[in-house]
A and B are shown apart, each in its own frame.
Chain A
Amino acid sequence: MSTFIQFWEYVVSHPTQMLTAIYEHIVLLVALPVGLAILVAVPLGVICTRSKKLATALLSIAGIMQTIPSLALLSFMVMLGLGIGFRPAIVAIFIYALLPILRNTYTGIESVDPFIKKAAKGMGMTDFQCLIQVELPLAVPMILAGVRTSTTISIGTATLAAFVGGGGLGGLIVTGLRMLRNHIVLAGAIPAALLALMVDYLLGRLEETITPEAMKSN
């Protein structure tokens, strides 16, 4: 019990450190790499729907990346010359975030009712109009689900960034472990866990509001 009291006292007495860690965690280690991943993975996913060969290739590459243990991937990034600090962490998290978004964009567009695509084409939409006006709007819920998965995974992975000097809430955990101070470990771990739950919930709600009524049943 005393650990929790100490944890609380630590949080209250180090507001700047806590806020900095949370800020770094959310903005630098999650929002930035996931944002970049969306910018890269959504267009790639779209391109995949236009070329089956590319789809197979890209999806397997992203799949392989996903299987590399996160700590190992972080270390590779350092060894690849990205140095230590935020840079390797951001790149590693970015790579992790790619697959769910890429896969969901691809599946989301692929699973649009073929009759609807045919109607769109037959009525005289160009391929681009069909994509922007029909396929993407209908795939948005699916893409958002991918973003949600990526974000949740990233919040967890980001705690490891501290091992390569990446800061964030992981910094508190690493410090606490080194100093054998459990309450400092908790000061990093508890907010990280709460953050993951909260973001998952919020994105889930967003997904629900954005999904057209017609598509909810199926």
Chain B
Amino acid sequence: MIKFQNVSKKYNQKVVAVNNINLKINRGEFVVLIGPSGCGKTTTLEMINRLEKPTSGSIYINGQDISKVDEVALRRNIGYVIQQTGLMPHLTIGENIGLVPRLQKWPENRIKDRVIELLEMVGMEPGSYLTRYPHELSGGQQQRIGVLRGIAAEPDIILMDEPFGALDPITRENLQDELKKLQDQLRKTIVFVTHDMDEALKLGDRVVLMRQGQIVQADDPEDLLRNPADEFVEEFIGRDRLALQVETLTVEEVARTTPITASPELGLLQAARRMRQKRVDSLVVVDEEDRLIGIVTAKSVNKHKSNSKRIKDIVQVDIPTVSRGTSAKTAFELLFLSDVGLLPIIGESDRLYGIVTRSSLAEMLYQVVWDSDFPSSNGLSHTKMQASYN
């Protein structure tokens, strides 16, 4: 649909804004251009509707070199949505939305029908909004109108330059959801510029990360997160890894594989001593084949010390467990719902694989946030960390 071929843009023959990029955007694809400011993402976008002209290279839309197309006609067939809405303050909402259809000389009644249809599509009552002016609307509503104006003339391609950049986080998220829904219905080819990685990952079918006028990586969000091309990419997506890793991590990756176990035949006093020695407050009870039986906690051992003798008399068997391969997120959810401080993970042939404790969550957070291993790799703190399962 859109093809960049060796496209470069220099300003004053010196400053290189875009440096030899090649990019193919497919029909119906939602492509997000992202990067730090000055990376050339907006320039790239604006070359598509010829607000900027490439210094060298060509851009093709449907196989046609756009430098050979009349720029006004080209722009009228490409939707354009910019930050801070760019709504005309002296025109009503209806006139603003109908602007491009009017430029394309649609008959007035068709424009009116289209405007009403669009307003209804985003749940804005046409009767009360048509004749109002942009300044009477909230920022979010204004930007909604900005988006409607961009799609009013039913273009195949829509360019969006940080459309939600100036909005508060909640409104921004609402509008992102709406845009996503809209896109599911309309399947337009959208090129979207942002500097917000959350937004890019949420909206894009493909995320194109740019730096110093070059494309560093162009991948779908999942691949971008899993295989960042280099340190720059990693750093750029860093802030967001927290949320996504929790989604993608499996329980093995956060598991402790050397839990303190006990046989059901173990005496209660011995159990109490082992807990003291290992500084834990529960033991995982397994049979001789390492199959899980249940859990005993220090609390119940103390309670039953006088009237019972062995672990098998007081072991809690009705506890939640997870199997290997479960997502870490599910595991933590179960863990917090149960009153036991640990969650056994069951491996092949019902054998105990390991456990997840609340401190596993802390370790994982540490890794994600500080991007290094938890200091538990040295012996001393390891014991300490294991010490309090609860």
Contacts and interface: CB of A to CB of B under 8 A. Distances in A.
Given A113-B86, A124-B103, 12 more contacts: A115-B82, A115-B83, A116-B87, A118-B86, A119-B86, A119-B88, A122-B80, A124-B73, A124-B74, A134-B88, A137-B90, A214-B89
6 contacts: A113-B86, A115-B82, A116-B87, A121-B75, A124-B75, A214-B90
Given A118-B82, A122-B51, A212 B103 contact: no
Nearest to B51: A122
A115 B90 contact: no
Contacts of B86: 113, 115-116, 118-120
Contact of A123 (B75, B83, B85): B75
A103 B85 CA distance: 29
B103 A138 contact: no
Nearest to A215: B89
B133 A121 contact: no
Interface string A108-128: 000001011011111111100
A68 B83 CA distance: 47
A198 to B, nearest CB: 29
Nearest to B103: A124
Given A122-B82, A123-B76, A124-B76, A116 B89 contact: yes
Give the contact-size bracket for chain A. Answer: 20 to 34
A5 B314 CA distance: 119
B80 A212 contact: no
Contacts of A118: 51, 82, 86
B80 A123 contact: yes
A138 B72 contact: no
B100 interface: yes
Nearest to A140: B90
Contacts of A134: 88
A122 B49 contact: yes
Contact of B135 (A124, A125, A213): A213
**Closest CB pairs A-B (n = 4):** A119-B86, A124-B76, A124-B75, A214-B135
Interface in A122-155: 122-126, 129, 134, 137-138
A123 B100 contact: yes
Contacts of A113: 86
Contact of B90 (A125, A126, A212): A212
B188 to A, nearest CB: 16
Interface centre among B77, B83, B84 (most CB of A within 10 A): B84
A111 to B, nearest CB: 13
Nearest to B99: A123
A218 to B, nearest CB: 10
Nearest to A212: B90
Given A212-B89, A214-B89, A124 B134 contact: no
Contact of A119 (B82, B90, B135): B82
A136 B103 CA distance: 18
A129 B51 CA distance: 16
A46 B359 CA distance: 70
Contacts of A119: 80, 82, 85-88
Contacts of B100: 123-124
Contacts of A214: 89-90, 133-135
Contacts of A115: 82-86
B102 to A, nearest CB: 9
Contacts of B51: 118, 121-122
A121 B136 CA distance: 24
Interface string A77-111: 00000000000000000000000000000000000
A43 to B, nearest CB: 21
Given A118-B82, A213-B133, A124 B89 contact: no
Nearest to B45: A122
